[in-house]
Structure 1
Amino acid sequence: MAHNELTMPQTSSRPPAFGGLGVVIGAAAAGVLALGVPQFGVPYVTNLVFTFLVFFILAQSWDWIGGLAGYVNLGHFAYYGIGAYAFAASLVAGVPTPLCFLIAAVAVAGIAALLSFPLFRLKGDYFAFATLAILPLAELLAFNLVPLTGGADGIVLPPHYVLVPAFYTAVGLAVVTFALSVLLARSRFGYALKSIRNDEQAAEVVGIRIFPAKRAVMVLSGAFAALAGAVHAWQLSYIDPPTVFGLNVALVPVAMALFGGSGLLWGPLVGVVLLFSIQQYLLVNMTMLHATVYGLIILLIGRFMPGGLLRSAFARSTPGLRALSREVHHEIEAAPPAATHERRLPMPVRAPDPDKVLLSLKGITKAFGGNVAVNNVTLDVREGEVIGLVGANGSGKTTLFNCISKVYEPQGTLLFDGADMKGLRRDEVAGIGVGRTFQNPRPFGDLTVAENIAVAATFRADKPSMTEALKEAESYAAFVGLEERFTQRADALSLQEKKSLELARALALHPKLLLVDEVASGLTPAEVKRFVSHIREIREVYGVTVIWVEHIFSALAQIVDRLVVLEQGQVIADAPLAEAVRDERVLAAYLGSAATKEGH
């Protein structure tokens, strides 16, 4: 734990100078310029730019789920095809054109919402291959649902020249798609997705409800793919199953996003520019194996540029590309140093009632097959207590923390603040006032220290905005000694700094109960002393109840009110410190000669 004094320079956080508004305005200006393309009177050029815009909408909307949430949806093109069919069938039935676009988006959004239930039970490669299976299924249905799709004959749209209005529609959709990407990257929802991409379990523990966020991004991504399919069908005037569901083009948007740099604001656009150019070359010079070429491109990206072109050393060292390769982070501007003042965390100040039981565990048991990790634990924790939870490795300490925070669902009864916790999700446990750190730190690695803390703050019950949460985050970072690392990515921190970050992130939840899992391990004696002073302040100033798992007995001895000792998942001692250290079972199970050497 880095050094932290009781006074510190006053600083403030503000929204980034290079904010999303300027980028959105730039995108709108580019869109206005694009509107002039049809005025040249060259249909080939207009059609070429139109196709480019459709691919951009597909690649960028794919990146919302692939880049932000970290789920590789290989069936994204199916939404394009379903949208094309919904639009075409509606238009042929005489529905006004604007309403046809709405029907396409709504129909696909509903399908995406339904598919999210089975698909998000899967992760990683299983999710990717499951989504890929949607494409041949959709093509098979399109061939066989003749009354809706026309079967192999497809659907012929009314014979009108619509290239120019379709082009203008595509320009508008492309601008909206890019602007939405900018807004998503900086919004609470966008940060929920980034947290999910990093660590779903840690995201839940800081209050993020996982499945609704994933379902929402699937719906949003699918709706824009549907609009791309609708506008393309309008311009083509004819669609059939192989055209809108064929694997020969289905991987193109995915390859474009991955090639440019998935998860980067400019990544999909750069990928579309480069691979669209390659595609036009292939169409002129190759008559087959297009899908093979794109599959090979994806493999080569994974092998030689796993983060995409804009994350490569070449891009980061090239002046023109360096700006495009920047990751989207909230940039913090520090105000000029002001007079020092007494440090206060932006937490509610509570006066704990020492007679009130905050947490009650009754018969808590958790088994993994034949291994009973926590065995019939009964324990009451009163408001304002600091309890040391000790035991040998494998005694069940972290498992008990996981039961309290609902990482695991145990047998027995858990009561928090008088209410039964049975059936609560992990995010709901965080919402009622339980914060925790992990034994092995699990920060969101590709987010900054500021963003890690702000994510937790913005998902607590009062839901401050990201700007407000970032202002708060500075105080928490200073409290744990990370003020100088505030704008750096979490994966660049040392192990001890990551533990400090987890403590700050847990405090940003405004917890009533704080579960601290070996944060002090590896610290110097001076750093341990400072950490103990932090725990004391958390309890005495902010009324937070603390259960602290720690192997450094001298640290616990400075502050704990009670010592709870576990052995093979069972409580073998629960007593004030002075009494517990005289228990022979405690000495044999945990303290042994270490306690004797320390004079206990």
Structure 2
Amino acid sequence: MVAGHQRRLAAPDPRGVSRRFSLEARMKRVSLMTLAAIAVAALALLPLSGAPYWTTFVFSVLIAYVLAQSWDWVAGEMGYINLGHYVFYGIGAYAFSIALTSAAIGSVTVSMVIAVVVVGIAAVLLGLPLFRLRGDYFAFATLALLPLAEVLTNNMSWLTGGADGIVLPVDHVLTVAFWLALALAVLSFITTLAINRARFGFALRGIRNDEEVAEVMGLPLLPTKIKALLLSSLFAGLAGAIQAWQMSYIDAVTVFGLNVALVPIAMALLGGSGLRWGPFVGVVLLAGIQQWLLVNITMLQATVYGAIILLIGRYMPGGMLRAGLLQNIAWLAPLTREHGAFVADRTAGQAAGGAAVAMPLDRIAIEPDAPPLLVCKDVVKAFGGNRALAGVSFSVGPGEILGLVGQNGSGKTTLFNCISRVHALTAGEIRLGGRDLAGLRRDEMAGLGVGRTYQIPRPFGDLTVAENVALSVMLGPRREAPERALAEARSFLAYADLDHRRDVRADTLSLQEKKLLEFARALAVRPRLLLVDEIASGLTPVEVRRFVERIRAVRDDYGITVIWVEHIASALNAAADRIVVLEQGQLIADGPPAAVFSDRRVLASYLGNTAEAMQ
């Protein structure tokens, strides 16, 4: 089997492939960078051309792009639809204007620094309660920030000027403001590229797909969410400060009104939220449509504008760049690529090389007289009046394979959730390596060496198979960089017989392939305790035997302790050193497989009265 894997992974000349690919990729990057530099230089000359109308129009497009792109870091990357993103634009505009008109400050530079600080503080203070919400609740809560900010601003006339707004010193600042907006837009795009290639970007996409799984893999959720919101808000706040300076006047309606606040969001959605070029394309198209409507159909502008958005939402729900028609146009293909694709490109040369089936794991030494690795003592977990676990006690020694069986609803998965800290215990204690797990966060469990699969597979659906496993490597104890993590992921995929599927989206896999992906992803955490939840169900007898061999190899070759929940008694009989049986949340048997599977109570409870005792 090892030789087969090596043959499948080998390439005729991996070093040649890698060098050739590297040269081609470098030439493409240089060409794109050259074109981008020329475009930015041309835009920078626009204010000097004596065309104030076009300068003002492009200035507004640049500000809109910054707002749309920074919104997409939270919504497109992390999956949290922040309908109140514009509130940070308004806070930045007001903080800048108040500071600039203050006799004690009056400096543009200092005022912008103050705006950034105020916006950052507001983002952290708002993010802490808001991120206790998810989905529609989060979206509507953020939407409420806009009218709230408008009401507060209108009523705090001693600070904000109330309904009269704030009039700034009238200076001819369009040229400088344009250059600042251009620099901020370029920085927004560069930041997007940096997020795409960084571990932080993959972490955001993990949250977007399944934040509980990402947290169990080692991702600290709240700090990551706050960091994303903070980054997003700072760019929006700077955009507000720059535009307030250029306009020389602000009031609550212009910076907090719903009629303007949702436009950048519509722009990002139009182009394709979550795509590298999506917000840019959406901003250019929608700004152009807006301008044409303003000049030609002023009276029906809002109606036509709304109809266009509705039609695109109906027939291109993922945005224009995700439309099948555009994806088939060769010269538009680079614009339609999903995030992270270029990281896979960079590792393509490495992936072409030979790879061994052995996983890059250090073998855990197993001492004969070592104390138990895991101890569960009087574990109770109640959901209201239902006690899913009622005083369960057992231990697992280092390097042991423990089978955990029981009827559906007996508490097996609940026990896994308690061990991995998805659920807090109602009573009792669980110790890992002598350490009480009470009070630990879910993301700390991966650092302690706990990896797990799920009874119902929960892959990150819009990431590739390789990215799913690589994310475990990135979030695990070693915190590897994306390129190295993607290269390392191949070994885990080969071990699970999934390397040939590494470049497809995880949501296209069959059920059994998803289960194997779960297995590879759990191993990539580098666990000392592996929790395997019904991963062999649905496999053919031959596949079950192969998986039993893998479980044994995980223990024999790497010293990993395994707790395996499974309904296939023959598989557990072949692989497990011990069997623990649960019934209605209580432990009813604990011993060698032969003894447990011949126990009358186990036969009656789990296998049935007519079941044959395992030989």
C-alpha separation between the residues in 2 aligned to 1:259 and 1:287?
Answer: 22
2:361 alignment counterpart: 347
Q: Which amino acid aligns with 1:491?
A: D
Give the direction of change, closer, same or farther, for the CA distance of 1:284–1:531 in structure 2 (3 Å limit). same
Q: Which amino acid aligns with 2:132?
A: R
Q: Which amino acid aligns with 1:343?
A: V
Say whether residues 1:62 and 2:77 are aligned partners.
no
| Aligned positions of 1:83-94 closer than 5 A | 83-93=92-102, 94=105
Say whether residues 1:463 and 2:479 are aligned partners.
yes
Task: Tell me if the contact between 2:84 and 2:142 (Cα under 8 Å) persists in the aligned partners.
Answer: yes
Task: Tell me if the contact between 1:68 and 1:193 (Cα under 8 Å) persists in the aligned partners.
Answer: yes
Task: Tell me if the contact between 1:71 and 1:128 (Cα under 8 Å) persists in the aligned partners.
Answer: yes
1:49 alignment counterpart: 58
Say whether residues 1:570 and 2:579 are aligned partners.
no
Task: Tell me if the contact between 1:27 and 1:175 (Cα under 8 Å) persists in the aligned partners.
Answer: no
Task: Tell me if the contact between 1:363 and 1:376 (Cα under 8 Å) persists in the aligned partners.
Answer: yes
Task: Tell me if the contact between 2:356 and 2:491 (Cα under 8 Å) persists in the aligned partners.
Answer: no
1:415 alignment counterpart: 431
C-alpha separation between the residues in 2 aligned to 1:528 and 1:123?
Answer: 39
Task: Tell me if the contact between 1:258 and 1:301 (Cα under 8 Å) persists in the aligned partners.
Answer: no
1:496 alignment counterpart: 512
CA drift of 1:599 comes to 4.4
2:324 alignment counterpart: 313
CA drift of 1:487 comes to 1.4
Gaps in structure 1 of 5+ consecutive residues: none
Task: Tell me if the contact between 1:24 and 1:182 (Cα under 8 Å) persists in the aligned partners.
Answer: no
Say whether residues 1:483 and 2:527 are aligned partners.
no
CA drift of 1:532 comes to 1.1
Task: Tell me if the contact between 2:206 and 2:214 (Cα under 8 Å) persists in the aligned partners.
Answer: yes
Give the direction of change, closer, same or farther, for the CA distance of 1:24–1:442 in structure 2 (3 Å limit). farther
1:191 alignment counterpart: 202
CA drift of 1:353 comes to 2.5
Give the direction of change, closer, same or farther, for the CA distance of 1:24–1:338 in structure 2 (3 Å limit). closer
Q: Which amino acid aligns with 1:80?
A: Y
Give the direction of change, closer, same or farther, for the CA distance of 1:566–1:528 in structure 2 (3 Å limit). same
Task: Tell me if the contact between 1:31 and 1:172 (Cα under 8 Å) persists in the aligned partners.
Answer: no
| Aligned positions of 1:141-540 closer than 5 A | 141-285=152-296, 299-328=310-339, 329=341, 330-331=343-344, 332-335=347-350, 343-354=357-368, 355-411=370-426, 412-540=428-556
C-alpha separation between the residues in 2 aligned to 1:281 and 1:135?
Answer: 28
Of 440-449 and 341-350, the range deviating more from structure 2: 341-350
Task: Tell me if the contact between 2:403 and 2:566 (Cα under 8 Å) persists in the aligned partners.
Answer: yes
CA drift of 1:104 comes to 1.2
CA drift of 1:190 comes to 0.7
Q: Which amino acid aligns with 1:372?
A: R
1:80 alignment counterpart: 89
Task: Tell me if the contact between 1:449 and 1:485 (Cα under 8 Å) persists in the aligned partners.
Answer: yes
SS in 1 for 2:451: strand
Cα deviation per residue 1:487-521 (whole Å; 9 max; x = unaligned)?
A: 11111111111111111111111101000001111
C-alpha separation between the residues in 2 aligned to 1:88 and 1:374?
Answer: 59
Of 558-567 and 346-355, the range deviating more from structure 2: 346-355
Gaps in structure 2 of 5+ consecutive residues: none
Say whether residues 1:39 and 2:48 are aligned partners.
yes
Q: Which amino acid aligns with 1:48?
A: F
Cα deviation per residue 1:241-266 (whole Å; 9 max; x = unaligned)?
A: 11111111111000000011000001
Say whether residues 1:547 and 2:563 are aligned partners.
yes
Q: Which amino acid aligns with 1:75?
A: G
Give the direction of change, closer, same or farther, for the CA distance of 1:337–1:152 in structure 2 (3 Å limit). closer
CA drift of 1:591 comes to 2.2
Say whether residues 1:30 and 2:39 are aligned partners.
yes
Q: Which amino acid aligns with 2:85?
A: H
Give me the TM-score of the superposition, normalised by structure 2.
Answer: 0.92
Cα deviation per residue 1:498-554 (whole Å; 9 max; x = unaligned)?
A: 111111111111101000001111111111111111111110111100000111111
Q: Which amino acid aligns with 1:154?
A: G
Q: Which amino acid aligns with 2:263?
A: V
Query: Which of residues 101, 106, 113 is equivalent to 1:102?
Result: 113
TM-align CA RMSD: 2.3
Task: Tell me if the contact between 1:532 and 1:559 (Cα under 8 Å) persists in the aligned partners.
Answer: yes
Q: Which amino acid aligns with 1:129?
A: F
C-alpha separation between the residues in 2 aligned to 1:420 and 1:579?
Answer: 31
CA drift of 1:387 comes to 0.5
C-alpha separation between the residues in 2 aligned to 1:4 and 1:225?
Answer: 55
C-alpha separation between the residues in 2 aligned to 1:251 and 1:290?
Answer: 16
C-alpha separation between the residues in 1 aligned to 2:298 and 2:152?
Answer: 27
What percent of counterpart residues are identical? 54
CA drift of 1:323 comes to 2.5
CA drift of 1:78 comes to 1.0
Say whether residues 1:587 and 2:596 are aligned partners.
no
SS in 2 for 1:558: helix
C-alpha separation between the residues in 1 aligned to 2:212 and 2:380?
Answer: 21
C-alpha separation between the residues in 1 aligned to 2:322 and 2:566?
Answer: 40
Higher relative contact order (CA 8 A, sep 6+): 1
C-alpha separation between the residues in 2 aligned to 1:384 and 1:539?
Answer: 6
Task: Tell me if the contact between 1:7 and 1:342 (Cα under 8 Å) persists in the aligned partners.
Answer: yes
Task: Tell me if the contact between 1:69 and 1:194 (Cα under 8 Å) persists in the aligned partners.
Answer: yes
Task: Tell me if the contact between 1:84 and 1:233 (Cα under 8 Å) persists in the aligned partners.
Answer: yes
C-alpha separation between the residues in 1 aligned to 2:504 and 2:37?
Answer: 31
SS in 1 for 2:58: helix
Of 11-20 and 525-534, the range deviating more from structure 2: 11-20
CA drift of 1:286 comes to 5.4
Of 436-445 and 311-320, the range deviating more from structure 2: 311-320
CA drift of 1:319 comes to 3.0
Task: Tell me if the contact between 2:290 and 2:305 (Cα under 8 Å) persists in the aligned partners.
Answer: no
C-alpha separation between the residues in 1 aligned to 2:603 and 2:3?
Answer: 35
C-alpha separation between the residues in 2 aligned to 1:558 and 1:222?
Answer: 56
Task: Tell me if the contact between 2:165 and 2:252 (Cα under 8 Å) persists in the aligned partners.
Answer: yes
Task: Tell me if the contact between 2:570 and 2:614 (Cα under 8 Å) persists in the aligned partners.
Answer: no
CA drift of 1:559 comes to 1.3
C-alpha separation between the residues in 2 aligned to 1:564 and 1:36?
Answer: 75
CA drift of 1:276 comes to 0.4
Give the direction of change, closer, same or farther, for the CA distance of 1:311–1:541 in structure 2 (3 Å limit). same
CA drift of 1:404 comes to 0.7
Give the direction of change, closer, same or farther, for the CA distance of 1:201–1:296 in structure 2 (3 Å limit). farther
Q: Which protein has the bigger helix share?
A: 2
CA drift of 1:86 comes to 1.0
Task: Tell me if the contact between 1:249 and 1:291 (Cα under 8 Å) persists in the aligned partners.
Answer: no
C-alpha separation between the residues in 2 aligned to 1:278 and 1:52?
Answer: 12
Cα deviation per residue 1:65-117 (whole Å; 9 max; x = unaligned)?
A: 01001111111111111111111111222432222222112211110111011
SS in 1 for 2:200: helix
Of 292-301 and 529-538, the range deviating more from structure 2: 292-301
Cα deviation per residue 1:299-352 (whole Å; 9 max; x = unaligned)?
A: 54443322111111222123343321111223241459777x863211111112
C-alpha separation between the residues in 1 aligned to 2:516 and 2:179?
Answer: 52
C-alpha separation between the residues in 1 aligned to 2:230 and 2:568?
Answer: 49
Task: Tell me if the contact between 1:248 and 1:291 (Cα under 8 Å) persists in the aligned partners.
Answer: no
